[in-house]
Structure 1
């Protein structure tokens, strides 16, 4: 009897542990605006652990600028994280016909990376310009996710309210200055809601669809 009870508790604890460690996959969609006009979209697929930390992120962005001629920008990016630390990154960007291909792997001392087949070493303290991660607000050394350029920034924060699809949402607004000029808004659960930053020399606005 005691043996049966022991086995029962072991099995019960196993399933509780499995349930606690369950990962969550989510699809997130965002719209891209230029001067109030919608010019593109972003589709994000994230896998988070039980702590809500992103462990895997896949982003597909497609943007078209209308002017004298159509200017196209597409990007496919995959990130893998562990305990809040970037482990791998793979990406391809087509900037109106100019290709940018990146790869990155973490080791004990830094990041071993390549940009268009050229080897690059990046410091372990650098953080990607991927606005989907709240920890970007804690890092003063970033790297561009198109070409791995290092960017030194200063960051200021303040409470703010943003209007999205008729809803008023309380946020924290982070203003980045220096080598990367951007404004990012995160909600009370530290999820990205909105951002103003540069794509191909144009300041665009990205808003998560509600």
Structure 2
């Protein structure tokens, strides 16, 4: 079972319209106390051998996931002879948490762009994906945020991002369909107007999932 959502990217001048989420520092002691209370309400004893330290470990995980972190500054390199070449970065996998059910989701990210006189440092693509995953999220918004930041940094609308998500909120609750996947696509500039370029990108993106 798969679900796909496709939408165009915003242009460079529209990036600021994305909602900015300000994350407050997390009180891990308070969170650990609340987790301990939750265990009690679930009929458990937080002081039994197997659960000793569990509230603190859970609080530490939440703090690590949701700690404010910005995307590292993008490094661009002049490469005038590579203009109009399709560049695709795939195989990026990040974990986030669904804000509707507070359950993890794994997001496989592929990003593509068309250079115009310079290329972007490759490691920065993963940093951008990781920065936007480190908060309570929905996949659709995550996809748009990654595409919007890339569009802003590259200075061109010729950017596309496709995300393939595995959501535990669908795999282990509700309909409990373990094979369900959700695909979201954000395409701008030539990726939304040039069917050949768009198909090239989507073919490369789908190849990492073993699709034909």
Q: Place the TM-score, normalised by the shorter chain, in its bin.
A: under 0.3
> Hey, which of these two has a bigger chunk of strand by percent?
1
Higher relative contact order (CA 8 A, sep 6+): 2
TM-score, structure 2 as length reference: 0.27
TM-score, structure 1 as length reference: 0.28
